[in-house]
Amino acid sequence: MGIINVSPDSFSGDGITNPEVAVAQAHYFVSQGADILDIGGESTRPGSVPVSIDEEIRRVVPVIERLASEIPVPLSIDTYKSEVAQRALEAGATMINDQWGLKKDSHLAELAAERGIPIILMSNQRDKGGYDAGIQRDIAYYDDLMIEVTSSLKNSLELAMKLGVPRESIIVDPGIGFGKTWRQELELIRRLDELQGLGRPILIGPSRKSFIGMVLDLPADERLEGTAAAIAIGIAEGADMVRVHDVQQMVRVCRVSDAIVRWS
C-alpha cells in the first residue's frame, strides 16, 4: 500500500498540496509495484491540528477522481470521517482506512457495508493519554500491550460486523505510531503473530515512524533501512499488508521476506 499524503504537514515530510503532483506520485508508485494506494487529506502526526470536513474533501476528492480513471489499482481513503469517506467513494475510492477503528464514527462501517467494500480498522490508543503536546513519552498506559491492542481490534471487528460488514471484508491494523510508546511499538512487531487469532488479514504501517528514529537517532527522511527491518520482521510475524512511503524498496523487501517465510 503506497501512501499519498495530500496534506502540507505530514510527519514524514512527504505531504503534497498540488493535486497534479499527487497524481504523478500515484502513477510512480504503481510503476514501482504498489498494489493499493492510500489517499489521505489530514495529517496523523501527533499534535497535528484536525482539518475541517470540507477542507479534507477539497484535498482528496480531486485526486481520487483523477486516479479512479487513470490507475489500475484499488484506491483507499484514509479518513475517520464518514462525510469524507462518502465523497471519496463517490469519486472512485473502493476501500476505507479508519485510523480510529470506528471509535470516532461508526457510520464508516455502514458505508462499507452498503457498498460492499473492504474496511481497515486500526487500534488507536491516542485517546488514552500516550501523547503530551505531540511528544511521545516513554510511559505505558496499560499493563499488557497485546491484550489492549487485541481487545481494541476485537471490539472494532464486532461492531463492524454488527453494522453489516462481512467478516471477510475487514482488515486489522495494530496501529504502530498511534498512542504506544516507542518500546511498545518494538514489542508490537515482535508479538504481531498474536493477532492472527482474530482471523483477519493484518496490515502494519511502520514506515518512517518515530520508534525507528528513537532506535537509530535519525530524522524521518533517513529511516529507510529501519523501515525495511521492521517490515521484514513484521512479515515474518504474520503481517499480510504493509503501508509505506518508499514503494520500490519495500516491494523488494516484501518479496524476499515472503520468499523466505511463505513459499513452500
CATH number at residue 250: 3.20.20.20
Query: Which phi and psi (to 5°) does residue 102 adopt?
Result: 75, 5
197 touches 218 (CB < 8 A) = no
- One-letter identity of residue 118: P
Residue 10 corresponds to which amino acid?
A: S
Pull the grid cell for residue 188: 508490537
pLDDT bucket at 48, cuts 50 / 70 / 90: confident
Report the catalytic residues.
209, 243
Q: Which residues of 23-45 are buried (b: 16+ CB within 10 A; e: fewer)?
A: bebbeebbeeebebbbbbbbbbb
Residue 261 has pLDDT above 90, yes or no: yes
d(CA 111, CA 236): 33
pLDDT of residue 211: 95
Q: Do 85 and 48 touch, CB atoms closer than 8 A?
A: no
Coil/strand/helix, residue 52: coil
Q: Please state the pTM of the whole predicted model.
A: 0.92
The CA angle 225-34-48, to the nearest 5 degrees, is: 65
**Number of domains composing the chain:** 1
Residue 11 has pLDDT above 70, yes or no: no
Give the confidence band of 62 by pLDDT, cuts at 50, 70, 90.
very high
CA distance 200 to 204: 13
Tell me the residue range of the domain where 149 lies: 2-261
